[in-house]
Amino acid sequence: MRPSRKLAFWIVAGTLTLFLFGASAPSPLYVVYQQRFGFSATTLTAIFAVYALALLVSLIPAGDISDQIGRRPVILAALTLQAASAILFLLAGGVGALFGARIVQGVATGVATGALSAALIDLQPPGSGLGALTASVAPPVGLALGAVGSGAIVQLGTAPLRLVYWCQLAALGVAALLIVVEVPETVRVRPDARVRLRLRVEIPAPARRAFRALTPGLVATWALAGLYLSLGPSLVVVLLGLRSHIVGGLVPATLCATTALASILSRTWSARRAVVFGTLVLAGGVLVTFAGIRAGSATLLFAGSAIAGVGFGPAFAGSFRTLAPLAEPTARAGLLAAVYVVSYLAFSVPAVIAGLAVTRWGLRDSASGYSLAVVVLALAAALLTMRQPSASPSPEATRAQA
């Protein structure tokens, strides 16, 4: 990799990490917003969930658009939207503004994710696989840093609902400048090209059986992430009686950090091994978390989070590696879009259901029931994957990989 290209690669990786930093930064603040604006746990999880739904709607066509008009315009547009969301948070005076800020933030992250991930593939050393690995590791690293960094700023800063967003705005400005100056355009755009907006979600026939087997695992992993990023800090405050926002941010950060580490360490595993190992370890980690919730133990809660993250990384990466070879190149985008649809619906919808449950049964019982449901789904995914016969890649997919 030439020095200039290497620098561009890591700028893009840092920008992707920055977007996910912004996505988790509000997590430690939800408790503060809830106290200040007086809304319920249901509203809290709904504010969290609209981000995932907005991200999903924008993610699917965004990669296609960057193929048509270039990576840099799409990335810069996403940075502008992300800055707009930070400004909305700064100006937020009630629940409506929080919803608006999260929707804009979700659209920004969805637009950025496809273009930045594609740029990483474009800029990586040929045949290295570094782009795909970085694209899978940067999001959980960003989520972990965002949760911890925001918690530290809230705990130690003088303006807990302002400083974190001013820091984001400064970082976004630096990222935009570096994209303009140091990152080359990697797509050749025809002057007469017409932009087509395509929303294509499709599961090819050869991948349908494997997709059905993997769906419980996708739901389990992303539903767990949704619980941690929406109600994780509340678990620390309400159940453990700890008032530290730093500790509250460490709960989702622990899950995300071990997810990133496990993704790196398991990158050479077979897809089946990764899914089976990941879902079984995820189930074990959630059981430890369940024990921590019931006992009000911070040690068990954090240990369970770390173990669950060790399972999350291989399980999700293994699902991708299982499905991708089963689709022809022309159908792969539609298949991966289907994976994202399942994942982000699981990330958002169960969290809202948990918020509704909290208002009736309380945080401890609701989180306990949620955890047991995740365990059942993870074990079902492991069983279905073990029983799944090895599927053969399609002939065109095999030729394309070769």
Q: What is the pLDDT of residue 206?
A: 87
pLDDT band of residue 160 (cuts 50, 70, 90) is confident
pLDDT band at residue 329 using 50, 70 and 90 as cut-offs: low
Give the pLDDT band of residue 12 (cuts 50, 70, 90).
Answer: very high
Return the pLDDT at 64: 67
Please tell me the predicted confidence (pLDDT) of residue 61: 75
Q: Is residue 180 classed exposed, middle or buried when 0-12, 13-18 and 19+ CB atoms within 10 A define those classes? A: exposed
pLDDT of amino acid 140? 87
Q: Which residue has the higher pLDDT, 293 or 80?
A: 80
The listed CATH number (2.40.50.100, 3.40.710.10, 1.20.1250.20, 1.10.10.10) that belongs to domain 202-402: 1.20.1250.20
pLDDT over 70 at 400, yes or no? no
Nearest to 207 by CA among 344, 83, 320, 109: 320
Domain ranges of the chain: 1-185, 202-402
Please state the rounded mean pLDDT for residues 370-388. Answer: 91
pLDDT tens profile 93-147: 889 999 999 999 999 998 888 788 888 888 888 777 677 778 878 888 888 888 8
Q: Evaluate if residue 326 carries a pLDDT over 90.
A: no
- The pLDDT, as a whole number, for residue 399 is 44
Query: In the Cβ-directed half-sphere of 231, how many Cα atoms lie within 13 Å?
Result: 34
Angle between helices 245-265 and 130-156 (to 10 degrees): 170
CATH match for 1-185 among 1.20.1250.20, 1.10.287.1080, 1.25.40.10, 1.20.120.1200: 1.20.1250.20
Output the 3-class SS for 178-196: HHHHHCCCCCCCCCCCCCC
Q: Are 193 and 68 in contact (CB under 8 A)?
A: yes
Q: What is the mean pLDDT of the chain?
A: 84
Encoded amino acid at 231, one letter:
L
Residue 59: which pLDDT band, with cuts at 50, 70 and 90?
A: confident
Predicted pLDDT at 80: 97
Q: Please tell me if the domain spanning 1-185 has the same topology as the one spanning 202-402.
A: yes
Average pLDDT over residues 382-388: 87
